[in-house]
Structure 1
Amino acid sequence: MKKLLRSVLTVVLLGALFASCKNKAPKEARLIPKNASFVFVMDAKSMQDKLQKGGISVDALLKKVFQNDSTDQKDRELFNDLNNNAGINWNSRIFVFTTQKIVGSAPETAVSFLTELTDPAKFEAFLKKQPDMAGKEFKKEGTYSYVMPEKSVMISWSDKNVLTTLYTSTGGKPVYDTTTMTFKAPEEVDVTAALKTEVNAYFTQKESESLADNDIFNDMFKEKADGYMFTNSNSALAALTMLPMQLPKLEELLKDNYSTSTLSFENGRIIAKTTSYPNKLAGSLLKQYGGATVNMSMLEHYPSQSINGVMMASFNPEIIGGLLKQLEVEGLANAALQKSGLTMQDIYKALKGDLAFIVSDLSIAQPEPQAGQDEVTMTRKKPIGKMIFNANIGDKAAFAKLMDKAAEQGFVTKNGTTYKGGALLTMLGFYLQADDKNFILASDSLTYAKYVANTEKAVLSNDIMKQFKDKSMVAYFDIARTIDGFIAGAGKTGFDKSMRTARNTFKDAIATGNNFDGKTLKGEFELRMQDEKQNSLVTLMSLVTDVATDMREQARRQREMEDKIFPAGVPAIIRTN
């Protein structure tokens, strides 16, 4: 008997363990189709807690956004009613998902907003008392109800969830009739019928047809975060039929590639972590042609103490050849290049795979006197700055073959083993010089000379340089420095206040990516704030609230101006034209 009890207890415990693991998946995933191309999730409760901890309440935000005129009062009452009396659980997760498909030759897209209901009867009552719903028919369909405010918009709800779906169709392309030698207009899409079919599928689909059956999607929620994002490449497969030429294995390459991201609002920064899951074919290419890490020497001697932005990458160019072979189009590509005397190997072997793009000293200034053509160009300010694009050379013979071809076309001039920019690049204001070691495009000859001299040192903080180490891709943007440069040169403009607000909010942004680890590609994005102690959501919400307040104030002034110009008796059609 004891042995039986132990066995039963073991089964129960294992069942509870498996159930708890499975419950990591949000129950709303049951309503999201497996072919959804994009899903974004916000944890409303987590975000509200951070706002309250930062001293910001919903009432305070409303008071700031909505002022005291009659229009603001009505909008605030509607917002309060939606927040308190609509039967919606505003502490639950909010989902936004997109589905895309091709019907005939017409691309169709559905965007849906999904969240949890606490009281479906209360929600329906809230809808029915809205003026915009007057005369609209409320219908029951199986386990859900719905109403259509417009022919391309549906609000649907069950006893647990509410969905708002917007459906768009761009219309198909004209079809050429070879018999009549004319183009026939595509059939008109019945958007209302398509929308009803789409939403009905959400509520009636099997679990195996939903994202509840996708482990990658469900595992994303094991990490605690304020927001989540999921992308799926399968929606692109339908578009392949519209290509003028069907490429072998392209569908296999694009199928079942997924990516997930988590978003967290921390003190002084916003962190987004991404993980990409390539399919078997894409993964084998990434594994076979693994890249190196970024070449820091391409940045270390950049001649400026005012760097605005950096982009660097390191990859194995042989992956281009591998991709062409897998798609079985290498011969086709070489045939297209035959007349030029080049091959695809010449192109992708010419570079080593180390790339760097650096921008600095951005500002706005008046042109030099000798550059002015007339009084207008002499007074008009324009952006100025310094720039370097550097690519290390791979196969010297292949590179020389490419550059010799460019010299024949007049794009560059050749002197021994050195190539310089031709008349076109000079006219555009760029300086190009390339040899058997580097291909360098610069903003001017002085910046180039200082860069290749390797005597100066780029000024970037140690913490940024450490984040760049051992990464296959890096990017950096100094937001505050860039805005400072434009504010100083632009003077008073209509955007002066907004620019200063943004400058006092954001510091910089950093993005990094790792090489393929055999299963995934991982990356991270960090947006840093000026206030390092305050939670970034509080900082961001303060900025958004200020912008919303300004926009409402601008709209109010516009209405007042219209009221002065057009008396109340003037028809509305005249007011809006």
Structure 2
Amino acid sequence: MVVFLLLSKSHQNHLPFMKQKISRVLLVALSAILVLSSCSKAPEQSKYIPKEASFVASINTKQLEQKLLESGLSNEKILETISKTASGADGSEDTSNPVTKGVKDFQNSGVDLKGTLYFFSSATPDGKMYYATIGKLTDASKFEAYVTKNIPNVTVTTADKVKIGIVKIEEGTNATLAWDDKTVMALISPDFEKYSSFMDTDAPAVDNSAVLTTEVKRLFNLKDDEKASSMTSFKEFSKENADIAYWANIDATVENSLKNMPGQAGMAVAMFGNGLKKLIEGSFYISSLNFEKGKVVAKSTGYYGKELKELLDKHDSKTVDIKQLEKYPSDNVFGYAIMAFDTHLIGDLIKALGYDSMIDMQLTKMGITMNDIMNAFNAEIAVIGSDFTVKETPSMWDSTYTNKEPSAKWLFTFKIGDEKAFDKLISLPDMKDVIVKEGDKYILKEVPPTMGAKIEGKDIIIGSSQELVDNYATGKSGGKISGDMISNAKGNVSSMYIDFQKLSKNVPASVFSEVPDSLVTDVKGLLKELKTQSGTVSGGKQVSTAELTFVNQDENSLAQIIKLCTKAYGIFKQKQAAEAATWSQMGDDEEIDTAVAPPAATNVQ
């Protein structure tokens, strides 16, 4: 955009001549390049994010606000609705409401609420992990006034034109605020050792204020090659024009975990750390989430580095077996999760981490190898649920009360791989009470009476009843799952589906006995379904998507969520006020009774 403005000012008197000399195609191409470069440029505050960041999330507040405005919502209207719905029966605005007051104060804090906000996790050069938020300022003096007025016990100092405020949250946990004329950041570093300690809970907490003060000074003075924006993966992330975007720096995540993971977990990570670092080097994830009309759409792309790409390329991406869904004997399926992968991939991952020899040494004592286990199973897994209900049964203690118990049919299935390897596995002494082979049939033993289980061919089937398992195994009553559910899974490595309407319609009204009918109707009528898909790995990357669909397709999904939450908040506050009034009245009655009635207690002894 800067280039475009310079061109405009420098050559505005020569445009007729240029039009004669430059073809229409080149002009279109030049315009496209300028537009794309301006759109993909990261906001100014992103330059303060270090390349050691494990993850970065960005929130495009301007874009979100515009979507709310299109649905008739503004920040002011939302606050007004909250204050009125949380007030008394007359509907007057409750100006003392802490939520309303707090947000209104922050709106006048000098923070740019229409700019991009960044959240990230990183580590200081000496390995101390912290979480941070970075935003844009419109007025630094207003922000300083807001800090001194609204944050108790804050100490503000100045270093190289950067204001630094130390905020004590609790013993050993301080937050550090820092800002200059354009940018504000907040850092916090929890004492992980204190919170992870189960044996020495009285250990003194560590004061991190000095460490964080040093870190904010560093962040405000990062060199170009120290910034996350210098990395190719972060540049890709910056192109995401999403409501919410997410970048996972896998290299930094592992490095920071190796330095900071406390206790036994830290020891375990350290043991295979070098192998893991080599395996995931150059890998990263970029995700986006957008609130659209009638749905929330998420997309995630995993980019795999050289070592991991080569390992994944050794194993063809398997797609799910649709027959696992088609055989299910019910037309009232509310959801499923299905996936497929080559089990040998797990073995190669273990080998890449350097643990194969140690594991094989232990398994050999049992008479098997890791390769036997990988060969024994074919990782085609499905979990299916149907016929959800909530049953009301009389309480065993009091027949006037009922217990509400959710009930559903469910089935879990996976497949046997190489039969010789599987036979070798089940011949182990520890397996004789679990599964045996009689002739060419496998028999599952000691199945709980409330469940069913069976091995049919190469399908291992476990379900909520033996009848369900038998019907699924024969396939006589299958083929009832809707086409949308099937198509959602077809051709993917994994898929999930949930039908919220089938779940909600079978929940009796008595479950919501203390919730107003209007709110129950809104809750039940909000969500329609959730679909997720993960495609095959191709060219060193894998794309996954998720779509949360709403019943109302004509209004933005975020607006629907906010309206429902605002309504629920108002009902909660009104109920809270009514209960407080009742208790207050009871207290007044007791005082009156005590004052008027004779001291009867002295006569009953």
Does the pair score TM above 0.5? yes
Q: Does 1:422 align with 2:445?
A: yes
Give the AA of the match of 2:177: I
Q: Structure 1 residues 174 and 331 mapped into 2: Cα distance closer, same or farther (>3 Å)?
A: same
Partner of 1:246: 271
Give the Cα separation in 1 of the matches to 2:215 and 2:238. 26
Instruction: Tell me the secondary structure at the aligned position of residue 73 of structure 2.
Output: coil
Separation of aligned partners in 2, 1:382 and 1:102: 53
Gap change, CA 1:450 and 1:188, over 3 Å in 2 = same
AA at the equivalent of 1:204: N
Alpha-carbon RMSD: 3.6
- From 388, 392, 400, give the equivalent of 1:362: 388
- What secondary structure does 1:271 align onto? strand
C-alpha displacement of 1:270: 0.7
CA–CA distance in 2 between the matches of 1:184 and 1:490?
41
Structure 1, residues 448-486: CA drift from partner, whole Å, max 9, x if none? 111122233454443443232211110111122212223
> What's 2:50 paired with?
33
Partners of 1:487 and 1:499 within 8 A in 2: no
Q: Does 1:80 pair with 2:104? A: yes
**Alpha-carbon distance, 1:488 to partner:** 5.9
1:315 maps to which of 311, 325, 341:
341
Q: Structure 2 vs 1, CA of residues 352 and 483 (structure 1 numbering), >3 Å: closer, same or farther?
A: same
Q: Conserved in 1, the CA contact under 8 Å of 2:154 and 2:165?
A: yes
Q: Are 2:234 and 1:217 equivalent residues in the alignment? A: yes
Aligned equivalent of 1:348: 374
Percent identity of paired positions between Structure 1 and Structure 2: 24
Q: Does 1:139 align with 2:161?
A: no
Is 2:413 the partner of 1:395? no
Q: 8 Å contact 1:333–1:344 — kept in the other structure?
A: yes
Structure 1 unaligned regions, length at least 5? 1-5, 176-181, 568-577
Distance 1:465 1:219, change over 3 A: same
**Is the Cα contact below 8 Å between 1:268 and 1:530 reproduced in 2?**
yes
Highest CA radius of gyration, 1 or 2? 2
Can you list the C-alpha shifts for 1:146-166, whole angstroms capped at 9, x where unaligned? 222325122221111112223
Confirm or deny: 8 A CA contact 2:154 2:168 kept in the other structure.
no
Count of residues in Structure 1 that have an aligned counterpart in Structure 2:
540
Q: Write out aligned runs for 1:523-542 (5 A).
A: 523-542=544-563
Equivalent residues of 1:487, 1:496 under 8 A apart:
no
The question of 1:60 aligning with 2:98 is answered: no
Amino acid corresponding to residue 57 of structure 1 in structure 2: S
C-alpha contact (below 8 Å) 1:173/1:185 kept by paired residues: no
Check 1:293–1:495 CA distance in 2 against 1; reply closer, same or farther (3 A cut).
Answer: farther
Q: 1:319 to 1:200 in 2, by over 3 A?
A: same
* SS across alignment from 1:114: strand
2:186 maps to 1:164 = yes
SS at match of 1:199: helix
Quick check: 1:338 aligned with 2:360? no
The CA deviation at 1:490 is 4.0
- Match for residue 116 of structure 1? 136
Show CA shifts across 1:253-283 (max 9, x none). 2444211111111111111110011222111
Instruction: Measure the CA separation in 1 of the matches of 2:517 and 2:126.
Output: 47
> How far is 1:379 from its partner?
5.1
**Superposition pairs for residues 385-464 of structure 1, below 5 Å?**
385-405=408-428, 408-423=431-446, 425-426=447-448, 429-464=450-485
* Among candidates 485, 497, 509, match of residue 476 of structure 1: 497
Deviation at 1:70, TM superposition (A): 5.6
Q: Distance in 2 between matches of 1:191 and 1:563?
A: 45
1:169-220: CA deviation from partner (whole Å, max 9, x where unpaired): 1226999xxxxxx999977522222322332332122232221112222222
Residue 212 of structure 2 is aligned to residue 192 of structure 1: no
- Is the 2:328–2:481 Cα contact (8 Å) retained in structure 1? no
Q: Is the Cα contact below 8 Å between 1:174 and 1:186 reproduced in 2?
A: no
**CA shift at 1:438, angstroms?**
1.0
SS in 2 for 1:36: coil
Tell me how far 1:565 sits from its aligned partner: 8.9
Distance 1:20 1:381, change over 3 A: closer
Q: SS where residue 509 of structure 1 aligns? A: strand
Q: Aligned partners of 2:401, 2:573: CA distance in 1, in Å? A: 38
Once residues 205 and 560 of structure 1 are traced to their aligned partners in structure 2, the CA distance between those partners, rounded to angstroms, is 57
Following superposition, the deviation at residue 509 of structure 1 comes to: 0.5
Distance (whole Å) between structure 2 residues aligned to residue 338 and residue 440 of structure 1: 29
Q: 1:178 is matched with which residue? A: none
The verdict on how the C-alpha distance between 1:229 and 1:393 changes in structure 2, with shifts beyond 3 A counting, is same
